[in-house]
Chain A
């Protein structure tokens, strides 16, 4: 065979394409949708996923009572899996701190059963299963909790597997968990298994400048439950007065109290009004005399603001409620600060320069679009939350006109502009967001922090 015959044979060979090639667009579409969901839920960090698997493996393998409980009661094994992401909830299950519910509702071939709740004075976790025909495709549920106030938690559109135990959580910041809750699961399906893009979803390109579009789904079933909580559980929780003063990098604080619940622990800090900086973040953990550690919450709320200022005042951690320890010490390893008189971050988009960036953050560049600008930054991972947003959600131009940033995108590593290769994936992430309708080429952003202090050894404060 000469070269020309070889060429023709090779062309023929290359004409044979694999059948999977036909669905490349559908695969890309599904992946983009999944990435969008991940992006919107970036607060649920990758670290929490790793912690989830680690915690479950460790508990099942190292904790005799836990393993025994899981082995003897098949349903409890499922519950143990469902709470494996949370050391506090795992400890609750291990200690039988679970209220069985066992209510089932069925409509249009979709059946939901609320199996259990784990509840205390400030937090509620509902565990339920959904049974449906696999031919429905991807099945989701929206949640409605009726008339409740002052809560933060899961609002729905989670993708569900038939027969799998799912968890939804609600935290109450000021109010207590109510005696009863009207829970409605609104179930809908998308896509089927034909690989087609779902008709309900509005195609919006990369949607950098538009808010994510979503039409109201056509619900297959609305399944309502009235959940009554056992007062023995909803009464659980205690306040430990502390009043311990300490300083961090020259700023003064008082640890006023700890609220100890079975599902979590809250620490309240009071900042000295004479401090020159607001507290913008803390890395901290609790440790008892047995060396047991209770880390910062990775899912749900991790901190809330100080009502007397712009900094953070309350920090949420895993709970030592079920631990045997008598002593408890707070260890602070890192703090993020925002100077009270600190300047805003100034970007000159035309020149590609930046001033007053948060510590460790790098301005990668800006691109102009008909609808505005898109700016990107490289930032180091946070030890606990992995990815975060270094800026607030508003911007202003030099004339003082303000705008809102409706979405942030995060990706691992930094793209090399010359080769397109992603580098530094282990240490940095890229944040990208649009500045819609920005007039001019200079923009001011509000940094969430200016600088970071690391404490080695950790600053220790005794709690009890």
Chain B
């Protein structure tokens, strides 16, 4: 799976916008959106929000968790615990990237938020690598990892699976009777 595909999925998340145009309800396969009243917040999928934003047809209201205080708390929590903490949005990374890239002017303290989310991401990915490492080194058959987001799984999957495959190959090539250490 491509990161772009994950991002595509993330674009289905709903976000609040304040439109500056007036439009009746629009009926889409995925569901009805609107009606759009100028100045009145309305929930739309991210893809539409970004599209409207690019056309300067709306302001995006940042999601509730996209707030420095809340993110700082999460970062602290993430650093404190060895396991993965629950994240307010399953697409936090994608949404942050999308919204900050396209609507940074609507999000207060955009730079801080970017840094914080990056920190959280780094912490989590580091944890993931660490656990993958110990998983392999301890030759466990299975492991349970909760609260991972799709993007995180995606970053490590191809590498992890490939390496496991290789190791399997290497191991099966080993002569029986030889020591299993490597």
Co-complex (A, B) = no
